[in-house]
Structures are given as C-alpha cells and as structure tokens.
Amino acid sequence: MSNWPLSRTASSFKTLIFSELADYKGKKSQEGASLIDLSIGSPDQGPPPFLMETLSKASLDPAQYGYTLSGSQEFNEAVAAYYKKFNVELDPKSEILQVMGSQDGLVHLPMIYAEEGDIILVPDPGYTAYEAGVKLSGADLYPLPLQEQNGFLPDLSTIPEEVAQKAKLMILNFPGNPVPALATKAFFKEAVSFAKNYELIVVHDFAYCELIFDGHKPISFMSVEGAKEVGVEFNSLSKSFNLAGTRIGYAVGNSEIIQELERLKSNLDYGIFSPIQRTAIQALLHGETFTKANRLLYEKRRDVLITGLNEAGWNVTSPPAAMFVWAKLPAGYTSESFTYELIDRTGVVVTPGNAFGKQGEGYVRMALVQPEALLKEAAERIKDMLQS
C-alpha cells in the first residue's frame, strides 16, 4: 500500500458499472456461457467504404503526421453546411469548435464556468460523463428527474429557487442516452427562458441526431430562438457515421462560450489527426445516403427486439430515437438483480438503469448493437426466463 493519498477530485470517481459488467462477462465467457451483449452503446457496424478510403488514402501522406493544433477551416465549414439540415445558420469562424469526440467537450466545459459552491443541473438518468465533468469542476450536481409521466422531459418548474440561483450550467440530451426520448420545441423554448432568467448556460448533447425513427424530425437546440444567446450544442460523428474510434466531434453555438472552450483546449491537446479531419469533412458533406440506411437499420432492429419482448410478456415501450431501449422492469426486480439474473440464466447482457442515476432504478438499458437475428434470439431467451 503506497503513501500517496489521492486528491479529493480523484477520490470522487467511482468504478463504473461498465467495468464491473466487463469483469462478470469475462468470467461467464470463461465458463463457456453464450453471451449476447446489449450493454455497451458502441456501433457494431463500420463506417461507409468511402470514408474508410478517405482515411486510408490521407494516412499514406507523410506530411499529415504533424500537430494540427485545431480544427481546419474546411472542417468548420462542413459543420456549418451540415447544420443547415437542422435549419441552423452557423458562423464557421466563431460558432464552431472541433473536439476529440463530444465527450471531450462535455467533460471539460464545466471547468470553465463552474467551481466549488456552484451547481450544475444534470439529467437523471443521464450519460455518466456528465457527472464526471461536474466532479472535475468542483461544483455540486443537482439531478433533473426524467420521468415517464412527463415524457422523460425535466420539469424545470420543480427546481427550487435557491438551486436555480446557484446553477451555472444545465445539461440536456435529446435524443437521450440512456433514455431515448425526444424533446419538443416548446420544451427547448422553456429551457432558453429559464437560462435567461437565471443567467445560466444550456449545454445540449445532440450525439444521436441521425438516429430518429418513425418519420420524426430531429430538433437541434440551436434552431430555437434565443438558443445561441444562452448555450452550446455538442455533436459527434461516432454514432451518426460509425466513427466512434476516431474520436471527433464538435461544439456549436454561443461564440463567447466557444472561444473560452477553445482557449481551454489550447492548453490540453494538439488537435486531431488531419486524415481523421478529412474523413469527417466527407462524412458531413456527403454522408446522407449512409445516415438514411443506418437509421433504417436501427429502426428495424428496434422493431425486432420490441416485438420479441412483447411476445415474451414484457411490455416495453418502443423508443422513438437513438440506439437504446429503455425498459421498465417486470415486478419483483431491482435493476441490478435483474441484470445479473439475466446474464446467469440467459447470457443476455444489459446495463442496469441505476448506473445512470437514482431515477434509473427499475429500468435497464439495452443497446441495439447486434444483428436482427441475435436480437430475436435475445428476446427468445428472455421469454424462456420470464415464462419459466
């Protein structure tokens, strides 16, 4: 045992359930279990061939291996062109910033505007990286419950006045992870009004903007009047174009916030590999055919899994977006007891809802990251367990 005490910040981080699940999956695999893993939201498909060709060709140029320092002007212009599909006009020079995947910006931004004694409003259940960003800033986290009776939209009217007065940022995520809900323009307008009233920043995570089903249209927070005055939106190429491992994303919106995040990042990194930037540019400008096909792939997977679960007697709501099913548990289970019993008895691996916050208790998250045949088999295995 060393005599090197951890800092208060480092001590605040706990081992996430994903690591515990990974260990348990490894143990079950060694025992010979046949696992169907629906626990991690990582695309199982590769990017379209034209993107792989772009990356491969650019990587053969020896001149591309120096520091890039920042995103290229061509990248910013591609983001601006892409955002026109959301009815958003962006200034490539002042309202767009490249980041190393949206999580990079989401985790680091709170350090710029919040510190000890401040509050950051975070969705509960919510993506685990949000809490990490709050802890790095030293601020306190105040959960915004996402509940089924409210359409999984936070009820801003329930936030106590003393909390709102101390809040520096409010993080939103629609379509969401783990809850694949959609926001309305009316809610986003309410969020803008709330932010103006309490002089806080809205941070919207829009990483699943291309995975929206049943003819619904994606709503960018930036498309709402007044949004640029109070906030920024983070987006990523990870899920939209299956480029998760390349770690490239961007922030758009308020030019002052963009400038401050750029200043912080100038002290943290040396930019993204140029061939990856070139690949991202092609995706943003010429990827629409792929995103349509990818959307249909996930929509079909969703339908197969939901149909199978309903046939098993587990009535699970069909999600309108994203790559997850947020399933309310059958009676008699906790999130963790169901998760581990499911692995032991069926080999199907899901993530317990309480891993994403207190309000996630009573749910599990299933990622649509397996082919239709395996999703159908997963539902059959679950049926055998529930009806035995």
Cα–Cα distance measured from residue 273 to residue 182, given in angstroms and rounded to the nearest whole number:
33
Cα–Cα distance measured from residue 47 to residue 243, given in angstroms and rounded to the nearest whole number:
6
pLDDT in tens, 106-156: 999 999 999 999 999 999 999 999 999 999 999 999 999 999 999 999 999
Instruction: Kindly tell me if the per-residue pLDDT of 17 is higher than 80.
Output: no
On whether the CB atoms of residues 140 and 218 are closer than 8 A, the answer is no
Band (388; pLDDT cuts 50, 70, 90): confident
Instruction: Kindly tell me if the per-residue pLDDT of 14 is higher than 90.
Output: no
Band (268; pLDDT cuts 50, 70, 90): very high
Instruction: Summarize the confidence of residues 202-220 as an average pLDDT.
Output: 97
Q: CA-CA distances (angstroms) from residue 330 to 47, 338, 363, 385, 387?
A: 37, 9, 9, 12, 12
For residue 93, give every residue at least 6 positions away whose Cβ sits within 8 Å of its Cβ, in sequence order, or none: 73, 76
pLDDT in tens, 165-208: 999 999 999 999 999 999 999 999 999 999 999 999 999 999 99
124: buried, middle or exposed (CB in 10 Å: 19+, 13-18, 0-12)? buried
Identify the bridge partners of residue 252 per DSSP, sorted by sequence position: 96, 233
Instruction: Summarize the confidence of residues 260-289 as an average pLDDT.
Output: 97
H and E: helices and strands count for the chain: 14, 12
Band (1; pLDDT cuts 50, 70, 90): low
Cα–Cα distance measured from residue 364 to residue 382, given in angstroms and rounded to the nearest whole number:
13
Identify the bridge partners of residue 235 per DSSP, sorted by sequence position: 250
pLDDT of residue 66: 97
Q: What is the pTM of this model?
A: 0.97
Cα–Cα distance measured from residue 294 to residue 44, given in angstroms and rounded to the nearest whole number:
11
Domains by residue range for the chain, with CATH? 8-46+289-386 (3.90.1150.10), 66-286 (3.40.640.10)
Residue at 247: amino acid letter: R
User: Mean pLDDT score of the chain, rounded to an integer?
Assistant: 96
Nearest to 85 by CA among 231, 290, 223, 230: 223
pLDDT of residue 18: 80
Cα–Cα distance measured from residue 210 to residue 207, given in angstroms and rounded to the nearest whole number:
8
Q: Do strands 324-328 and 363-367 pair parallel, antiparallel, or not at all (unpaired)?
A: antiparallel
Nearest to 282 by CA among 111, 141, 82, 84: 82
On whether the CB atoms of residues 365 and 127 are closer than 8 A, the answer is no
Instruction: Summarize the confidence of residues 27-49 as an average pLDDT.
Output: 95
On whether the CB atoms of residues 132 and 367 are closer than 8 A, the answer is no
Instruction: Kindly tell me if the per-residue pLDDT of 2 is higher than 80.
Output: no
CA 158 to chain centre: 25
Cα–Cα distance measured from residue 310 to residue 328, given in angstroms and rounded to the nearest whole number:
12
Per-residue tokens: 25: 């999956």
